[in-house]
Amino acid sequence: MTALIRRDPLRSLRLLFLVSMLCVSALALVQAATSHAGWDVMVVVVGVLAALLLLRADEFVRGRLVPFPVDLLELIAVGAMLVKLGQSDPVLGPVYFLLLFRAATGSLRRLIPMIAGYIVVCLAGSLIAGIPLVIGVFFGMPLVSLVVYGMRTLLLRLREEQRRHTQMIDDVLTRLPFPVLAADASGGVVLANPAASALTGPLDELRATRADGTPVDLPRLAAGESGLELRLVRGDGKVAQVVAETVPAAHGTIVALLDVTAQRGYEEKLEHAAFHDPLTGLPNRALLWRRFAVAADGPYAVLLVDLDGFKAINDTYGHLAGDDLLCRIAERLRHVCGADATVARLGGDEFAALLPASGRERAEAVAAAVHQALAWEIPLATGPVRVGASVGFALGGPGLSPDDVLAEADAAMYLQKHARLSGR
């Protein structure tokens, strides 16, 4: 009932008058019965009151008045009931609420004739049946009915203003160039502007998650969220990064979305370019130093790899072949060093591998694997080539400077290179 009053107060008022009319009619029947009216009189009273109630119920359900000739028949029937009953009390109560119902339903041009008709009928019936006149009743009929009609007019104007206000908000939200959703208190979407529909696709197919992967229901986001970054996966597989802002509305929440997909992609490219070698895609020296900061809490090993014979291949086959060779070597180093290792290109033909949580045994095993991987022919567009490599390693841990560990690995690498060259 409370929901009906909030949704349609005018219909609620009509229902109140209809129920009141039913109760007063029941009381009128009791009054008529206790006045020792005959069965013929009771039949007339019951028939007229039942007809009035059914007609008002029909008007309530359909939301419009019965045809005007029916009003004339009503007036005649009520007049006949008044004369037949010989008393006004059982008649005036239902008539009052009938007029109040009409005031809350029809136009003024239908209400005024109805009021005038009932006043005439009641006056004429009272004179014919010799019933004492109650003058105040006849003043009250138009007065109370017009007050109710004024209330109805006011409610209609208020509803129209609310409709216009809602329509204006809808128009503004619809024309906004950025995505906006409006949800009611239960999480149902009452508006999704074209920009939102273009971004999210069908909402029942959309999957939204926070940065940590927690699922999120967009229409049920709490009001007051600010700067909430979400990942949206549409039903057709398209992915978008958005920043959500939510503000409370009168009966729900408005969710504004800012599409930052291109911005995040650009930021990721910038970050990748800042910390990766553009040729091989391996981490560069800057990212290697970041990984040192993480690995330095425990034991680790560092390998330095310097290619042998790279300059000759570069000079013989050209720089494109040299670049291709470096990329293929980077792939082999990533493979043999393991998924937890950071393989970086330090520059030219020099590479480094950081092995976290590793000691001498693993460092020696990985160094041997690097030697073996680079001993095989490497296919290039110009034909297969072979390169050698000098590998040196050093062990690090808490309290040791990365620069010192790298210097030790560098010294070990050059010691091996010198030994290999001397052996030739």
Contact 160, 227 (CB under 8 A): no
pLDDT at position 382, please?
A: 84
Whole-number pLDDT of residue 166: 65
278 vs 281, 328, 329, 338, CA distance in Å?
Answer: 6, 14, 15, 22
Q: Which fold has domain 176-262?
A: Beta-Lactamase (3.30.450)
The mean pLDDT of 213-232, rounded to a whole number, is 87
Mean pLDDT of the 9-34 span:
86
User: Does the pLDDT value for residue 362 go beyond 80?
Assistant: yes
Q: Which carries the bigger pLDDT value, residue 9 or residue 103?
A: 103
Q: How far is CA 334 from CA 226, 296, 370, in A?
A: 41, 21, 10
- Model confidence over 94-128: pLDDT tens digits? 888 888 888 888 888 888 988 898 888 888 888 88
State residue 2's pLDDT score. 56
- Quick one: tokens of 385? 């080539």
Q: Quick one: tokens of 296? A: 């330095």
For position 411, what pLDDT does the model report? 93
330 or 83: whose pLDDT is higher?
Answer: 330
The pLDDT score that the predictor gives to residue 358 is 92
Q: Which residues contact 103 (CB under 8 A, 6 or more apart)?
A: 111, 145, 146, 148, 149, 152
Q: Taking 80 as the threshold, does the pLDDT of residue 55 lie above it?
A: yes
Q: Residue 388: helix, strand or coil by DSSP?
A: strand
Out of 37-51, 123-137, 152-166, 170-184, the most confident range is 37-51
Q: What is the pLDDT of residue 7?
A: 66
| Cα–Cα distance measured from residue 265 to residue 289, given in angstroms and rounded to the nearest whole number | 24
* pLDDT reading at 6 higher than 70: no
* Domain boundaries defined on the chain: 2-158, 176-262, 276-423
Q: What homologous superfamily does CATH list for 276-423?
A: Reverse transcriptase/Diguanylate cyclase domain (3.30.70.270)
Amino acid symbol at 129: A
- H-type alpha helices, 237-379: 261-275, 285-295, 310-317, 319-337, 360-375
pLDDT, tens digit, 9 for 90 and up, residues 56-104: 899 888 888 888 888 889 888 888 888 888 888 788 888 888 888 888 8
Examine domains 176-262 and 276-423 and report if their fold is the same.
no
Q: Residue 389 pLDDT more than 60?
A: yes
Question: What's the whole-number average pLDDT of the chain?
Answer: 86
CB 224 within 8 A of CB 246: yes
Residue 5 has pLDDT above 60, yes or no: no
- Residue 1 pLDDT greater than 60, yes or no: no
Contacts 24+ apart (CB under 8 A), 233-238: 233/206, 233/207, 233/208, 233/209, 234/200, 234/201, 234/205, 234/206, 235/201, 235/202, 235/205, 235/206, 236/201, 238/201
How far is residue 267's CA from residue 241's CA, in Å, rounded to a whole number? 12
- Of the pLDDT bands very low, low, confident and very high (cuts 50, 70, 90), residue 304 is very high
Q: What would the pLDDT profile of 163-209 be if each residue is shown by its tens digit?
A: 776 677 667 667 777 888 888 888 888 778 888 888 888 888 889 99
pLDDT of residue 170: 67
- Per-residue model confidence (pLDDT) at position 89: 78
Digit-coded pLDDT (tens) for 276-285: 999 999 999 9
Question: Which band of pLDDT confidence, cut at 50, 70 and 90, is reported for residue 364?
Answer: very high
- Output the pLDDT for position 288: 92
